[in-house]
Amino acid sequence: MTLLVSGGTGFLGLALLRQVREPVVAVIRGNDFEHRARSLARKSGAEIEGVRGDLSLPNWGLTDEKIAELRGRIRAVVNVAGDVAWSAPWSRLAQINIDGAAHGAELAHRLNAKLLHAGSLYVGYESGDEVGEVLLEEKEGLTKYERSKLRGEWAVARAAKKYEVPTVLARIPALSGDLDPVEGDNGAKKVPLARLITSGWWRVLPYATGARLDVCPRDLVAAKLVELLGEDHSELVDVRNIGQAAAAPFVESFIREAAVASEREPRSFPRPVRMPATWLKAVSKQADRLDEHPKNAAAIGLRYFASRTVYTGSGLGREVSVRSLVKTLGMPLHDDPPKINGFYAGWPT
């Protein structure tokens, strides 16, 4: 059988394609979709057939003839596409993250396939000390991006129940680069969190005491998605939080390790400064009202250094040390052994 995948050309999508072991039909925008599909096949090693489409359109822009051709071939529709620009305008976020999500569920119905939809852990921002694997009420303090992803979840859930489409809503954490990197792939520099930390825009990195940072290597998240595709699910709409859960590091631990890692290259990591969580959230809220710009997106991202929320789940299936996590964000790591000064060095004798 075959997977129908949207978002295969994106950061997470490429990692997913490297993990799958079955043919893929990739929905790709633009007239050059065939060329891009061939390029994607070379990068991922997957067997890929490209089809022109657009998530903002019903049935993702696939014609009735194409849907009829694919029916019976496709076992699952996988939507890892989305607009992840934190400062993007609401109209664009809604078009992709809400309407496009609902179109995916409707398309899965027409193909008689199950659906795997990639959401975001941060739909649960400020929903309590722990956020479980359930659909959530919309909180007032969500950013535009978080709100669009939460409404996308509900749009998928409503369509899945209406058409009885077996669906997994997989909430994705903040992504870093690969724990087991592919040679020549510099993807860590593309993720918002890495840009926020290493962009050089700010001389300091504000953070709040006790905040948790559920950021995960991209390849481990992709492997978890593939695992979910192979599972049987008892619920028609099954919500899964993918992340480190209770193992998510405290921001202090992450910053301390990153600061040590960048000791010889101080410009690669801004000076950490402890700030009240309320201040960070207030700055983020104001930045969310501004126009789209990378610096505004970075200011919005400060909220993720101020939240103590733990997103409960079954974890990644593999332990990730803080040191390894720092490395996946493109931070330089120095493996020299610690130096012992003369006084302590003389103890063994």
pLDDT of residue 194: 66
Rounded to whole angstroms, the Cα distance separating 296 from 292 reads: 7
Q: At the topology level of CATH, where does 2-176+215-243 sit? A: Rossmann fold (3.40.50)
The pLDDT > 90 percentage for the chain reads 70
Please state the three-class secondary structure of 41-84 as a single string: HHHHCCCEEEEECCCCCHHHHCCHHHHHHHCCCEEEEEECCCCC
262-317 pLDDT, tens digit each = 665 555 677 889 999 999 999 999 999 999 998 898 899 999 999 999 999 988 88
- pLDDT for 203: 78
So what's the pLDDT on residue 326? Answer: 85
Query: What is the rounded average pLDDT for all residues in the chain?
Result: 88
Query: Which pTM does this prediction carry?
Result: 0.90
Chain centroid, CA 177 distance in Å: 11
- Read off the pLDDT of residues 172-212 as tens digits, 9 standing for 90 and up: 999 988 998 776 665 555 665 666 666 666 778 899 999 99
Residue 334: its pLDDT value, please?
55
Residue 196 three-state SS: helix
pLDDT at residue 216 is higher than 50: yes
Q: Is the pLDDT of residue 337 over 70?
A: no
Question: What share of residues in the chain are helix, strand, coil (percent, to 5)?
Answer: 45, 15, 40
pLDDT at 346 > cutoff 60 = no
pLDDT digits (tens, 9 = 90+) for 123-177: 999 898 999 999 999 999 999 999 999 999 999 999 999 999 999 999 999 998 8
pLDDT at 295: 87
| Bridge partner list, 116 | 78, 168
- The pLDDT value recorded for residue 137 is 95
So where are the chain's domains? 2-176+215-243, 187-213+246-328
What gap in Å lies between CA 182 and CA 15, rounded to an integer? Answer: 10
Instruction: Please write the tens of the pLDDT for every residue from 28-37.
Output: 999 999 999 9
What's the CA angle centered on 38, arms 36 and 44, to 5 degrees?
100
